[in-house]
Amino acid sequence: MLVKVLHNGSCSKSNAVLEYLDENGVSFEIINIIEDPLSVLEIKTVLKKLNQSVFHIIRKTDKLYIENYADKNYSEEEWIKILSENPSLIQRPIIVKGSVAMLGRPIENVKFFVEK
């Protein structure tokens, strides 16, 4: 089954997962979320596959988050819109396989997820 990787090329963890998949012969498709940001609907779909709330995928260590969003109290819907407009705030990589997804770290979890 083809694995989709929601990817940011400037993220070392994201690049490490791609390298792992490539070295282990796993077929994958890269979705560069910076160059091609996810829509609100796509984010909702990913969240459903993750079985998580939007708060699970927000990068709270990101400078943009700290400077602009850390002290705010947004709803889940508002956060989804913010993430669609600011894809650097999305945790990455996110690995999608069929109807399920997971955050791609630690890399040991990726191995289990891909082989399962």
Q: How far apart are CA 29 and CA 2, in angstroms?
A: 7
Q: Which residues pair with 3 in a beta bridge?
A: 28
Amino acid 98: pLDDT: 93
The residues facing 101 across adjacent strands are 96
For residue 100, give the 3-state DSSP assignment: strand
The predicted pLDDT at position 78 comes to 98
| pLDDT tens digits along 46-81 | 999 999 999 999 999 999 999 999 999 999 999 999
Q: How many domains does the chain have?
A: 1
Per DSSP (E only), the strands in the chain are 3-7, 28-32, 94-97, 100-103
Query: Residue 52 in 3-state DSSP?
Result: coil
Please tell me whether the peptide bond between 37 and the residue prior to it is cis, using omega within 30 degrees of 0.
no
- Domain boundaries, position 78: 3-115
